[in-house]
């Protein structure tokens, strides 16, 4: 029990000192606006997505909620997106709310090859429950953060003047794609906003570290779809995320099998193996729902951590009867089925 508590405290401490490491969904394809602003507008009709992630539930570590709206406007050759996201670390220890608006513009390169350039801007509000923070200098190897009398050990950390922080932020992205492949890059925190808390003394004016993501994939069609059934395909893909000294690489594949879709990925943190990810989902009409489980394979598996659970619900109105004719008239010639 003591080992689990110490691990829990260390997780919370590290999460705070990470200086605003951005949440990352295992089902990144179900939250394209969060992945890259250039992906805003992957459908002609409105697409609404709701995402939920509970990471390491046995440690009460991270819970993330997200809702987004996006669509492409052919007359403007542009995509538009809105996203709301709430992230809760340590059952209210750190609560962060995000609002972002995204815009993308599509350019044709040659024949059926395109490039989309996207920008995003929004506000972030964070609240820190300082009285519940446990720092490394408070943790005793034997008794943990409390002395034998049950009193919390003192810390040399100084409480900030303001436990509530708000800031404006900007990001940009680009994605190139054709019928056979896609590849994109995203850079966030271009304005290097100050989070106002938990800053090291040598980085008082640096602001939040830039967050980079690289993603790429292809699509292999196994059976063409028609008006009555979806196509069967497999989409191998890779995602690399880096922010300051933290990062991860996801490698795996997504498969569409008519109304059923499945997937499997391996995630490796820069310093250690992290998790094996398994996906199962169902789609019918405008509805698409997916569930994924992250099987922890790092040292946290000994705690245990409880893995990670993630659910996505997508309403793609492009699949409604109202938009069917327009969709057939504007046949997609790209490999973005996993994003729709």
| Burial class for 151, CB neighbours closer than 10 Å (0-12, 13-18, 19+) | exposed
Q: What pairs with residue 213 in β-bridges? A: 186, 241
| In contact, 125 and 97? CB cutoff 8 Å | yes
pLDDT score recorded for residue 325: 66
Q: Where are the alpha helices (DSSP H) in the chain?
A: 2-17, 32-35, 321-329
User: Residue 244 has which token pair?
Assistant: 């300051």
- pTM summary value: 0.86
Q: Count of CB atoms within 10 A of residue 83's CB? A: 24
Helix (H) or strand (E) holding 100: strand 94-108
Q: What are phi and psi of 147, to 5 degrees?
A: -80, 175
Per-residue pLDDT of the chain (340 residues; tens, 9 = 90+): 334 444 444 444 444 444 456 889 999 999 999 999 999 998 889 999 999 999 988 888 899 999 999 999 989 999 999 999 999 988 888 899 999 999 999 999 988 899 999 999 999 999 888 877 888 888 887 778 888 887 888 888 777 777 888 999 999 999 999 988 999 999 999 999 887 655 544 444 568 899 999 999 999 988 876 666 677 999 999 999 999 888 999 999 999 998 999 999 999 998 889 999 999 999 998 999 999 999 999 877 777 788 999 999 999 998 887 777 666 555 567 888 889 8
Q: What pairs with residue 52 in β-bridges? A: 65, 311
Q: How far apart are the first and last CA of the chain?
A: 44
Contacts 24+ apart (CB under 8 A), 177-180: 177/113, 177/114, 177/115, 177/116, 177/334, 177/335, 177/336, 178/112, 178/113, 178/114, 178/333, 178/334, 178/335, 179/112, 179/219, 179/333, 179/334, 179/335, 180/218, 180/219, 180/335
């Amino acid at each position: 029990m003591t080992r689990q508590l110490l691990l829990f405290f260390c997780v919370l401490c590290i999460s705070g000192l990470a200086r605003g490491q951005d949440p990352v969904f295992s089902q990144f394809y179900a939250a394209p606006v969060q992945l890259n602003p250039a992906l805003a507008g992957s459908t002609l009709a409105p697409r609404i997505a709701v995402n939920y992630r509970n990471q390491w539930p046995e440690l009460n570590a991270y819970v993330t909620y997200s809702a987004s709206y996006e669509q492409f406007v052919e007359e403007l050759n542009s995509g538009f997106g809105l996203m709301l996201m709430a992230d809760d670390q340590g059952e209210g220890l750190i609560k962060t709310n995000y609002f972002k608006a995204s815009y993308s513009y599509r350019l044709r390169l040659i024949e059926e090859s395109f490039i989309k350039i996207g920008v995003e801007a929004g506000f972030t509000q964070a609240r820190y429950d300082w009285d519940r923070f446990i720092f490394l200098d408070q943790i005793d190897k034997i008794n943990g953060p409390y002395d034998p009398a049950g009193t919390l050990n003192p810390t040399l950390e100084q409480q900030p003047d303001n436990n509530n922080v708000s800031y404006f932020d900007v990001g940009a992205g680009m994605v190139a794609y054709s019928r056979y492949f896609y590849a994109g890059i995203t850079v966030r925190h271009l304005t290097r906003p100050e989070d106002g808390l938990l800053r090291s003394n040598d980085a008082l004016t640096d602001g939040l570290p830039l967050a980079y993501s690289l993603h790429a994939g292809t699509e292999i069609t196994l059976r063409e779809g028609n008006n009555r059934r979806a196509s069967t395909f497999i989409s191998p893909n890779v995602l690399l995320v880096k922010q300051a000294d933290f990062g991860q690489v996801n490698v795996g594949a997504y498969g569409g099998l008519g109304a059923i879709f499945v997937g499997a990925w391996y995630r490796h943190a820069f310093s250690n193996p992290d998790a094996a990810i398994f996906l199962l989902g169902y789609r019918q009409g405008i509805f698409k729902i997916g569930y994924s489980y992250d099987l922890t394979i790092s040292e946290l598996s000994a705690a245990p951590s409880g893995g990670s659970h993630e659910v996505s619900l997508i309403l793609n109105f492009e699949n409604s009867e109202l938009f069917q004719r327009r969709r057939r008239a504007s046949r997609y010639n790209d490999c973005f089925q996993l994003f729709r």
